[in-house]
Amino acid sequence: MIFAENYFSFGRRYDNNMTKFASLFSPGKIGMLETKNRLVMPPMVLNYADEMGHVTPKYLAHIERVARGGVGIIVLEASFIRPDGRGFAKELGLHAEDAIPGLGQLVEAAHAQGAVIGTQLFHAGRQTSSKITGMQPIAPSPIPDSTINEMPRAISIEEIKDLIEAYSQAARRSKEAGFDFVEIHGAHGYLITQFLSPFSNTRDDEYGGSDEKRMRFAIEVVGAVREAVGSGFPVIFRISADEMVPNGLTLEDSANISKKLEELGVNAMHVSSGNYESFSRGYMIAPMSMPDGLEVPFAEWIKSSVGIPVIAVGKIRSPALADDIIRTGKADFIAIGRSLLADPDWPKKAQEGRMEQIRYCIACNEGCITRLLSDQDVWCTANPETSHEEEFAKSLPERELRVFIAGGGPAGMEAARIAALRGHRVVLVEERDHLGGALLLASMLPQRPGWSELRDYLVGEMKRLGITVRLGTTATAELAKKEGAEVAIVAIGASQYPPHIPGIKSKNVVLSRDLLDGSARISGEKVIVMGGGISGAQIADYLSRRGHDVTIVTAGREIAKESAVVVRELLLDRLQQRGVKILTGTRIIEITKDKVLIVGPGDSDDLPGELPADTVVASTGAKSNDGLADELRKVGKQVFIVGDAVKPRDVTHAMLEGARAGLF
Ligand SMILES: Cc1cc2nc3c(=O)[nH]c(=O)nc-3n(C[C@H](O)[C@H](O)[C@H](O)COP(=O)(O)O)c2cc1C
Ligand code: SF4
């Protein structure tokens, strides 16, 4: 395995110590509100509400599932206080009285498990678009956000007063629905941050022009919310301690703001960072290439400025790290967002010391935030149950079946895991001498440790659940018959096929797959990567880091376009820094022993050029391996085909299909 990287995930190394995480599981207090532990589910827009912003059965099933896993405090997603503040098409709303009954059901679900629950009062300001709200976005000043690129309308003082009233009404509705607290969303570049920050507020009236004036909107919102909910009701404020943009909020600014909010009676600070324009720096929703616990220093900084409790967040994935942060006084509560999407039972398992059973969030950002930002509902790549809780609540089968699974990649292992959990007898057959399939290949690249974490989890589950695994064995219909299989699941992935061009069989051409599994090597300095998908781009990243002179040639217009958000921006940044050349709209028409002939850009075939090449890495298409399915059907088996064996795609879909196949 030539690409194996040293990887150290901050905090994970303590996990095998059977500490009891006494700090993490000690009761906490926010204002007068007592909590059973220090774990918080931070707000995450799920896109599970209906068009009216009302709670749906799917939403309720998700919250019930999370609450059952033992988290102490649930902060519901950013919920719009007025329709013009909606940030996502299917976000929850706190804008109308008819939202209250549905919200009340969420409260009951949380309380039934001993968790406390609150809403997050939200207005997107300029960080939304007219496509979502049907209206021109509003903001303190007419400055567009560069990621949205839509000119907002600066609001008048009269409109500011109306907005403050809308925050107050949303808080009142939250209390009426039975919530235990409210959190004011003052972070991530939304409306309140837009007022607080000189980056987005250039007003010269009483709401802008000095630190005090920029703070006025937040202060008035806090005052109105407090009046609406009364003195004993906890109010939390979420802040981006460092906005990470030029002329944006700094740590000093945030400490001053936090002190002022404490004076006004805010009961806790929830400390995040960034806004939309600094999102690609990888802090706000950190990808796997960023270290664990990366925003904790911000929480620590705010904690040193105030006396009220502070909630830390940001890729805090391991119970040991979470416990350590509390024990050493860096923060009072720990928010674990994506970790709960990946495993809602994380709190319970940690408290019971079942560390090896925790399915860690691998920070791939694929199933969750990338789907959200493309207007889809939030899933989790590692945990297919998230978003499909109702489907996975299916009752157990009446009798045990014998299940034969061909293929030990993510789809095959997830199918085996679910089938075994449902009481079936499972045999999994893998042609290679190891499990992992596409996960193993993905984890061989730099900055991709999460994929091997998911592989390790699934392999661990094969052992824990007593699944019979036959390595180095080819799956055939005959073998399935011999095993007495009643159901067969085909999960044997896809094979890579290089394009039919002259010279493709030359010695200097290697397939990306062979490079990743260590069966092929690079020679010479000049490398051409043929294909601009995520795999090609990451191979270029790795090879340039090893000192090769790399050029990516792709017929497409962009590279790595199927990559998760943030992951792509950071990757493109690294490629640029290391001088990787990228030729888009360009095709390789021939390969010789020391060069490639190219045409393009675009459709112009008349100007073939050439590029020197010591090695050409073919990182092009794949074809499904589904032939076994027909054989199995012929011998009368009930057959499911899953993952890349249906169509080469991402791990997210492979995992979900595998899980669904195991759900009979
Ligand atoms: C899908 C998704 C939606 C999010 N929505 C919100 C939101 O509504 N309000 C908010 O303040 N933060 C939101 N966040 C940020 C999270 O609350 C949290 O700060 C972030 O995910 C980092 O924590 P983690 O590494 O534990 O996931 C969202 C994050 C994700 C992944
Ligand atoms: S999709 Fe990936 S990043 Fe998002 S919660 Fe699941 S494992 Fe974590």
Q: Concatenated DSSP letters for 395-435?
A: PPPSS--EEEEE--SHHHHHHHHHHHHTT-EEEEE-SSSSS
CA of 43 from ligand 1 middle (Å) equals 6
Mutation choice for ligand 1 from 73, 285, 386, CB with most ligand atoms inside 8 A = 285
Whether 626 contacts 641, CB under 8 Å: yes
At 496 the three-state DSSP class reads strand
Instruction: Indicate which atom in ligand 2 lies nearest the CA of residue 366.
Output: 1
Q: Which of 110, 145, 98 is nearest to 126 (CA)?
A: 145
At 446 the pLDDT is 75
Whether 104 contacts 63, CB under 8 Å: no
At 13 the pLDDT is 42
Which residues, including other chains, have CB under 8 Å from residue 408's CB and lie 6 or more apart? 428, 429, 430, 432, 434, 435, 436, 437, 469, 471, 491
The residue whose C-alpha atom lies closest to atom 8 belonging to ligand 2 is: 361
Residue 394 one-letter amino acid: K
pLDDT classification of 11: cutoffs 50, 70, 90? very low
- Give the DSSP letter of residue 370: I
Q: Which of 328, 332, 331, 333 is nearest to 72 (CA)?
A: 333
* pLDDT higher than 80, residue 199: yes
Q: Which two tokens stand for residue 656?
A: 């979900």
pLDDT classification of 442: cutoffs 50, 70, 90? confident
* pLDDT higher than 60, residue 28: yes
CA of 322 from ligand 2 middle (Å) equals 18
Q: Which of 104-118, 347-361, 366-380, 593-607 has the lowest mean pLDDT?
A: 593-607
Whether 441 contacts 410, CB under 8 Å: no
Which bound ligand lies closest to the C-alpha atom of 360? 2
In the numeric block, the tokens 């799917």 are attached to 58
Give tens-digit pLDDT for 79-88: 999 999 999 9
Tell me what the mean pLDDT of segment 521-537 comes to.
94
Can you tell me the distance from the alpha carbon of 273 to that of 280, in angstroms, rounded to the nearest whole number?
12
pTM assigned to the model: 0.94
Q: Which of 95-99, 246-250, 439-443 has the lowest mean pLDDT?
A: 439-443
At 8 the pLDDT is 32
Can you tell me the distance from the alpha carbon of 529 to that of 575, in angstroms, rounded to the nearest whole number?
13
Can you tell me the distance from the alpha carbon of 545 to that of 481, in angstroms, rounded to the nearest whole number?
49
- What are the start-end ranges of the H helices in 186-246? 191-196, 211-229
Which residues, including other chains, have CB under 8 Å from residue 297's CB and lie 6 or more apart? none
The residue whose C-alpha atom lies closest to atom 22 belonging to ligand 1 is: 314
At 129 the pLDDT is 97
Which bound ligand lies closest to the C-alpha atom of 378? 1
CA of 282 from ligand 2 middle (Å) equals 14
Q: Which two tokens stand for residue 302?
A: 């705010």
* pLDDT higher than 60, residue 2: no
Question: What's the chain's average pLDDT?
Answer: 94
In degrees, rounded to 5, the angle at the alpha carbon of residue 16 between the alpha carbons of residues 11 and 21 is: 70
Task: Tell me which H or E stretch contains 569.
Answer: helix 567-577
In degrees, rounded to 5, the angle at the alpha carbon of residue 663 between the alpha carbons of residues 659 and 664 is: 150
* pLDDT higher than 70, residue 22: yes
For β-strands 587-591 and 595-599, DSSP reports them as antiparallel
Position with higher pLDDT, 1 vs 253: 253
Which residues, including other chains, have CB under 8 Å from residue 422's CB and lie 6 or more apart? 396, 397, 662, 663, 664
pLDDT classification of 498: cutoffs 50, 70, 90? confident
- How much of the chain, in percent, has pLDDT values that exceed 90? 88
* pLDDT higher than 90, residue 388: yes
CA of 391 from ligand 1 middle (Å) equals 25
* pLDDT higher than 70, residue 653: yes
* pLDDT higher than 60, residue 6: no
Whether 504 contacts 498, CB under 8 Å: yes
Whether 620 contacts 495, CB under 8 Å: no
At 566 the pLDDT is 87
The residue whose C-alpha atom lies closest to atom 2 belonging to ligand 1 is: 44
- How much of the chain, in percent, has pLDDT values that exceed 70? 96
CA of 654 from ligand 2 middle (Å) equals 14
Can you tell me the distance from the alpha carbon of 139 to that of 516, in angstroms, rounded to the nearest whole number?
49
Q: Which two tokens stand for residue 598?
A: 């190219």
The residue whose C-alpha atom lies closest to atom 2 belonging to ligand 2 is: 364
The residue whose C-alpha atom lies closest to atom 23 belonging to ligand 1 is: 314
Can you tell me the distance from the alpha carbon of 590 to that of 598, in angstroms, rounded to the nearest whole number?
7
Can you tell me the distance from the alpha carbon of 423 to that of 219, in angstroms, rounded to the nearest whole number?
57
Q: Which of 411, 451, 405 is nearest to 425 (CA)?
A: 405
Task: Quickly count: other Cβ atoms within 10 Å of residue 151's Cβ.
Answer: 14
Instruction: Indicate which atom in ligand 1 lies nearest the CA of residue 120.
Output: 9
Q: Which of 187, 84, 69 is nearest to 135 (CA)?
A: 84
Beta-bridge partners for 509: 616
What's the 3-state SS for 586-643? CEEEEECCCEEEEECCCCCCCCCEEEECCEEEECCCEEECCHHHHHHHHCCCEEEECH
Phi, psi at residue 118, to the nearest 5°?
Answer: -140, 170
Q: Which two tokens stand for residue 467?
A: 């699944």
Q: Which of 246-255, 413-422, 596-605 has the lowest mean pLDDT?
A: 596-605
Beta-bridge partners for 80: 93, 122
Can you tell me the distance from the alpha carbon of 210 to that of 506, in angstroms, rounded to the nearest whole number?
67
At 605 the pLDDT is 56
Residue 622 one-letter amino acid: A
pLDDT classification of 601: cutoffs 50, 70, 90? confident
Catalytic member of 59, 190, 360, 457: 190
* pLDDT higher than 90, residue 351: yes
At 663 the pLDDT is 93
pLDDT classification of 620: cutoffs 50, 70, 90? confident
Q: Which two tokens stand for residue 265?
A: 């009676």
pLDDT classification of 444: cutoffs 50, 70, 90? confident
Q: Over the range 572-611, which residues count as b (16 or more CB within 10 Å of their CB) and which as e? A: bebbeebebebbbbbbbebbeeebbbbbbeeeeeeeeeeb
- 542 as an active site residue: the answer is no
pLDDT classification of 448: cutoffs 50, 70, 90? confident
Which residues, including other chains, have CB under 8 Å from residue 411's CB and lie 6 or more apart? 491, 493, 642, 643, 644, 645, 654, 655, 657, 658, 661
**Helices vs strands, H then E, count in the chain:** 22, 27
Count Cα atoms within 13 angstroms, Cβ side, for 592.
8
